[in-house]
A and B are shown apart, each in its own frame.
Chain A
């Protein structure tokens, strides 16, 4: 009776692909109840009425593979996630390593160590440059012990020094 058979049900994310000999109007989609003209010629043998819609996919993502056919979307999303994770690794690992290995600010109170040159600077007590350590914190130089070789004065605080070693 009819030269134009009803197309098979559409898979998800598919677009209707009419045979070249079918003059379908714009917007024709059998999923929306549109009927094919029965006088249209039969489609070629094995004609695929449904093709992946190339416009289906995510829009506006920050990565370039935004418009993928739905069939490839799963793989595309996995690749996107892998890229995100790789990016986080590339950025995050050096940051964490830097945070862990960078030197902590050196304390300047009792127990802190200092260089012995003219511009004494606080250094780690493990450093070979450490010459003095702060023995106690007092309010005037006279309060430092007799054995103290010197002191630093900071504001109203006097740091009494002891030579290391």
Chain B
């Protein structure tokens, strides 16, 4: 009687989704896989043996990566979170401006309409909705936190520069607005000294409120 036996690694799909593939340089579908060795009898896996580890496989280029690759956001997600963070920061800064009025809304809405990740038709109605939901410095800063690990320091600096520019342009600057910017810097993992430099350079290049930008 002939017995055909051997070992074989079977792949178990732990999950699927979309990730940023470093090999393709773009968003691609992935499979999160775990491998396990099986004892086979007549090519049929019969006895499960040791686990061989897990990894992430790009379904486009078939490259394999460690699971750390899933920590990086997709391009679509990065743009989404950039938009969310811009709206949270600007809407919250606008809510701190005194007196609140059409001039404030115009500054905030026009700043957001050209901000990365924000739809170009962003208007006052959208701003009103955002002011209602992005209340509180800490709550708004929470929407900036996902960018800390996803953007370069230059990108985060550019983000803070835009926020500082909006804060400098809005009327009624006070300690609340300063605290908001400090909280944003903290959420973006930017030091307070770095923020001071950013604010200084913005103030030097920003015209006084009431003048044309």
Contact = CB atoms under 8 A, between A and B. Distances in A.
Contacts of A32: 70-71, 73
Given A13-B14, A25-B79, A55-B13, A62 B45 contact: yes
Contact of B129 (A39, A55, A63, A88): A39
Interface in B139-167: 139, 142-143, 146
Contacts of B84: 35, 37
A62 B43 contact: yes
A141 to B, nearest CB: 42
A2 interface: yes
Interface in A74-95: 84, 87-88, 91, 95
Interface residues of B, number: 41
Given A26-B74, A27-B17, A32-B71, A60 B79 contact: no
A35 B13 contact: no
A2 B142 CA distance: 14
B147 to A, nearest CB: 11
Contact of A58 (B11, B19, B27, B126): B11
A58 B80 contact: no
Contacts of A61: 10, 45
Contacts of A71: none
B44 A62 contact: yes
B13 A33 contact: no
B53 interface: no
Given A27-B19, A35-B146, A84-B44, A60 B11 contact: yes
Interface in B117-152: 126, 129-130, 132-135, 139, 142-143, 146
Nearest to B88: A38
A39 B112 CA distance: 15
A13 B15 contact: yes
Given A25-B79, A33-B146, A58-B10, A38 B133 contact: yes
Given A26-B27, A27-B73, A55 B16 contact: yes
Interface in A31-50: 32-35, 37-39
A59 B16 contact: no
A67 interface: yes
Contacts of B33: 59
A28 B12 contact: no
A52 to B, nearest CB: 11
Contact of A35 (B27, B71, B142): B142
Contacts of A26: 18, 27, 74, 76-77
Contacts of B1: 95, 99
Nearest to A23: B80
Interface string B70-106: 1101101101110010000000000000000000000
Contacts of B169: none
Contacts of A62: 43-45
A39 B130 contact: yes
Interface of A: 1-3, 13, 15, 25-29, 32-35, 37-39, 53, 55-63, 67, 84, 87-88, 91, 95, 99
Interface of B: 1, 10-19, 27, 31, 33, 41-46, 70-71, 73-74, 76-77, 79-81, 84, 126, 129-130, 132-135, 139, 142-143, 146
Given A26-B18, A62-B44, 18 more contacts: A3-B133, A25-B77, A27-B17, A28-B80, A32-B73, A34-B77, A35-B84, A37-B84, A38-B133, A39-B126, A55-B16, A55-B31, A56-B16, A57-B12, A59-B12, A60-B11, A62-B45, A91-B42
